[in-house]
């Protein structure tokens, strides 16, 4: 069962001074900014100029303790594993810290013990990121390699 929770719309860029701040009369860094190809409302943060779209529904149990949306986390890991972008470059491109990206890989690695979690992550990756069976294998091999590097 997929538990989706609607999350409050906030700036999702961790390096933004207005990161995760609730919007109010005084705090209104997010502005409407057109629509995505799928017709979801898009927003732009006037502080950091990053765009976000709605709805972004959370898998409540997926990365539950993290402040970063699972979507963001998995997108980063897909870029690293499938697109072969180094963590160093990803850091430069996205502003996410290398340590953070690495810790997400470790967290995903820790889910391998649970078939259900692997299933959840796989369905997210194939539905949202369009990964094929073959690419899923590459993704998990990447996660495994990162985990082994950590132990060394
Ligand atoms: Zn921002």
Which sequence spans correspond to the domains of the chain?
1-58, 61-151
**Residue 133: pLDDT band by 50, 70, 90 thresholds?**
very high
Q: Which residue has the tokens 């990803």?
A: 90
Tell me which of 73 and 4 has the higher pLDDT.
73
pLDDT for res 20: 85
Q: What is the number of H-type helices and E-type strands within the chain?
A: 5, 5
pLDDT for res 61: 47
C-alpha–C-alpha distance, residues 126 and 135, integer Å: 9
9 C-alpha to center of ligand 1: Å?
A: 12
104 C-alpha to center of ligand 1: Å?
A: 21
pLDDT for res 63: 66
92 C-alpha to center of ligand 1: Å?
A: 17
Using an 8 Å Cβ cutoff, are 139 and 81 in contact?
Answer: yes
**65, exposed or middle or buried, with CB in 10 Å at 0-12, 13-18, 19+?**
exposed
Question: pTM higher than 0.75, yes or no?
Answer: no
């Amino acid at each position: 069962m997929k538990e989706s929770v609607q999350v409050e719309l906030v700036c999702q860029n961790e390096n933004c001074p207005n990161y995760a701040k609730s919007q109010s009369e005084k705090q209104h860094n997010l502005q409407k900014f057109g629509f995505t190809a799928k017709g979801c409302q898009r927003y732009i943060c006037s502080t950091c100029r990053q765009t976000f779209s709605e709805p972004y529904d959370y898998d409540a149990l997926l990365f539950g303790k993290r402040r970063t949306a699972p979507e963001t986390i998995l997108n980063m890991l897909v870029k690293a594993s499938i697109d072969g972008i180094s963590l160093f470059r990803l850091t430069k491109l996205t502003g996410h810290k290398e340590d953070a990206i690495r810790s997400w890989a470790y967290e995903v690695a820790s889910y391998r013990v649970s078939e259900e979690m692997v299933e959840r992550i796989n369905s997210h990756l194939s539905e949202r990121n369009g990964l094929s069976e073959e690419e899923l294998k590459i993704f998990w091999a990447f996660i495994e390699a990162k985990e082994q590097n950590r132990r060394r």
